[in-house]
Amino acid sequence: MNATTSHTGRTGHTPAPTPESEPEPARTPWEDLVTSALLGTDRRRPDVDVPPGTGVPAALLDAAAVETVRRRAGLRPAAAAALPERAAPDTRPPLPAAARRRLALLLADRSGPGGSRRGSAPDLTELLPQWLAVADEYGYAAPPELLPALFDAARGRTDLRPQALRFAGPRGLWLARLNPDWKFALRTAPGGSTLPAADDTERVRRLWQEGLFAERVALLAAVRAHSPAAARELLDGTWPKERAEDRLMFLDSLRAGLSDGDETFLERALSDRSRNVRATAAELLSALPHSALAARMAERAASCVALDPARTAVQVEAPHACDPAMERDGVVPNAPPGRGQRSWWFGQLVEATPLATWTARLGGRGAEAITALPVHDDWRPELHAAWCRAAVRQRDATWARALLGTPSAPEAGGPGAVSLAERAKLLAVLPPGERAEWVAGFIDAHGLSEAFQLLGVCALPWAGALGRAVVDALNIARDAGSYPWSFSGVMGLAERCLDPAETSRLESLTAIPDEPEDGAPGAVGYWAEAFQRLAGTLRLRAQMIAELDPAGVTPRRPA
């Protein structure tokens, strides 16, 4: 389109001065070129050189072409300065040629997530994060020429950033320092700098005392992975001087590798002036079954729970007050709206009590027998919900199994789990294979309508039994004439999580059968499109994996 034909302006933009009053800049910013193109060169003459025999519109397009090359190169035009230092070397192997072409194709698709789900073509925007995850497993280096496009994609999608930055490597951080559009990379990888070695005591101490907050968080995590005692020593040295919100973040980093060696420090944190810090310290201590706090909580909770005189059921006597000692140990005194004060205190005590306490307290029974006991006076939901939270906090698979129960149970809630969210958290405690088997049994018994949250905690790709259960349930829903859009979330999840080996089982589902009389109007066509898209996506994922692994080797970093 001729640049003089457009008369559409942008609200909020101030017209530029006339060429007579404005000195000609050395280089024209992209925004000025865009504004001139939108307004028309007859209304706003761009600040570009116009060679003899060339019109202003053509000169604008030539300048835009040059500026486009600069933008794609990742370096903004600026005054002459010293050349930047070279990027740190990237010793990772290069991408295979076919995988490099595939990445360029995925990055060229800018339709963005969240578009329409109609049609049978695979959604390339959803394949990009999967491609990055597999490439990272093999430890490949990103092609330098694709780094600008990769950062542009990650700039618009926060879900891509962790994988994109790992894949970009040191060259990516070097490039991000040259373009303010990519400053998110410097925030995510603190300062774009390399952390000192954990055993370089002097550099670690200097960065801890002088570094930015994000750098200090990353440093504390790195030192803790190398030496938990050294990390605690760093934290202890500056703890009284830290801001409350910083103390909370630093304390949260102790979750990784939490051990009994952290107890002394965490006990001191129970007296912190910040309520959030005290609550986090109490939570971490309650995850240590041999800590003094766990013993105090166990004593309090045991005084509230006992067997009835017949020793065949559980009776509960919730606490009547929340004393200062309970508050110091992390019990929040004020209940949220809709909750009784006593039940609120009781739930917190049980949640923080080591689960081994209950075997001795309730007649030597194991977790399965304990969760099967009746509970008097309608205290069962509160007691079992607290046990669910304790099992998740203490990562106790035995109690998680007991509280989940069998997936085919009529109530689909198990002896203790009372919500889908609780079931999902309990499942996350189990080994991946057992998790997938339980969810497959749940789908076989109850269908897909309530399984979405449970599918989200299963390891990828879904195990064979789970994948077959999902495909069979989708087929049953189609044959039953269900509304297809009710299962669009599960279908989208299947595109990302199904094993490509399941493609052959989908072929028979891609045909368009006769529409049933009692089915939703247009549902048959939608289902056919959805299965065609699912099969096409799985084939494309299989092809992507083959391109990243042409020699059939084992990933360097298994997922």
Q: Which of the four pLDDT bands, split at 50, 70 and 90, describes residue 140?
A: very high
Q: Pick the more confident residue, 413 or 361.
A: 361
Confidence (pLDDT) at 519: 57
Residues 6+ apart with CB under 8 A from 291: 260, 263, 266, 285
Residue among 133, 113, 108, 132 at smallest CA distance from 123: 113
Q: What is the mean pLDDT of the chain?
A: 85
Distance between CA atoms of residues 420 and 428, nearest Å: 12
| Residue 285 in tokens | 């201590």
Coil, strand or helix: which one is 191? helix
pLDDT at 559: 45
Residues 124, 133: Cα–Cα separation, whole Å: 15
Altogether, the residues listed in the chain come to a count of: 559
Read off the amino acid at residue 315: Q
Spatial distance between the Cα atoms of 101 and 108, rounded to a whole number of angstroms: 11
- What lies within 8 Å, CB to CB, of 312 at 6+ separation is 373, 374
pLDDT of 505 reads 82
| Mean pLDDT on 158-175 | 89
Residue 411: is its pLDDT beyond 90?
no
What integer is the mean pLDDT of 408-427?
A: 73
Q: How confident is the model at residue 121 (pLDDT cuts 50, 70, 90)?
A: confident
Label residue 367 by pLDDT band (50, 70, 90): very high
Check whether 13 has a pLDDT greater than 60. Answer: no
pLDDT at 29 over 90: no
